[in-house]
Chain A
Amino acid sequence: MQAPPFTWAGVRHGFLRAQPLGAGVLIYGLVFGILATEARLSALEAVLMSIFVYSGSAQMAALQVMREGAALLPLLATVLLMNARYLLYGAAMYPWLGGAPPAQSYSSLFFLGDANWALSMAERERGQDDAGFVLGSGLAMFLPWVGGTLAGRLMGGLIPDPASLGMDFMLVAFSAALMMGMWRSRADLWPVLAALAAGLVLVPMLSAGWVIVIAALAAGAAGALMHRP
């Protein structure tokens, strides 16, 4: 497989091109920082999580599991299920980055996020060949995410009682909104119904972490079963 070009000009171009998306990421980072305060994470812990886990949805779900007592296995299963879509993102990137040296391809994948993946794939369609674009646009998402986390965590300490401000409801509200944003077609109905049935039955029996895991697996099974080619 032929190595794609990977230049600093490409990195710079990707970084600048993704700037409008960075503002949104900054706000999500602030929200995560505030939620982290509520889950009793220190500023250092919140920032380390944003650097090394670097996935808004996975981190917010992980906070919910941590509040239930931080059992390791449901925590990891939650991160795995929330980030399972990255397996596809990576697969779709393979024809482009596959030929690049590992240092370039794996660092690009470390900084990969939903928005810059979509942006990069769109740019690729328009003839972008420089693989540096992926790393550059990834960094444009990563920096405001980490900065927003720190700022949100420091501001979050000033909020007197998160529950009185409804802040403990933020994750639930966000999930509902993200779900509506993710909705593509009526085919999505079956996975949602399967997850809902599993979730409602299991809530009194299992911890929140496992409810999330099993609801996701039910959705995945329904998605596969109801798939029409």
Chain B
Amino acid sequence: MSTEFLIALVAMAAVSFFCRVGGFWVMRFVPITPRLEAALRALPLGVMVGILAPVLRQGRIAECAGLAVVVLAMRLFGSDLAAALAGVATVAVLRLIVP
């Protein structure tokens, strides 16, 4: 295990633990307004979009078809795991056909 990874691990663990206890601790002093709550709730959606953005921008056939399958499978089955696996399978198959 590299020193670089160890530093990253300790820092990530500290940030993660801070998130777990931070809101709990702050509640002693600050009331969370509905507007602040709306902002915090929107953050995970933004992170997901940020992960998808490079794929959408590059616009390769296999990956875009994979995303379409994920959306469709999610609509049909409502299981994120099943939808993700269907998307991965689509990409794997299309990569064999489309170079």
Contacts and interface: CB of A to CB of B under 8 A. Distances in A.
A115 interface: no
Contacts of B85: 173
A9 interface: no
Interface residue range, chain A = 35 or more
B29 to A, nearest CB: 11
Interface stretch (A10-18, A84-92, A139-147, A150-158): A84-92
Interface string A63-92: 010100010100110111111111111110
B71 A180 contact: yes
Contacts, number: 281
B17 A199 contact: no
B50 A212 contact: yes
B71 A76 contact: no
A195 interface: yes
Contact of A86 (B23, B51, B70, B88): B23
21 contacts: A45-B1, A53-B16, A84-B40, A87-B22, A94-B24, A94-B28, A98-B27, A112-B20, A172-B63, A173-B85, A175-B52, A178-B48, A180-B75, A191-B42, A199-B57, A200-B56, A200-B57, A211-B53, A216-B47, A219-B42, A224-B35
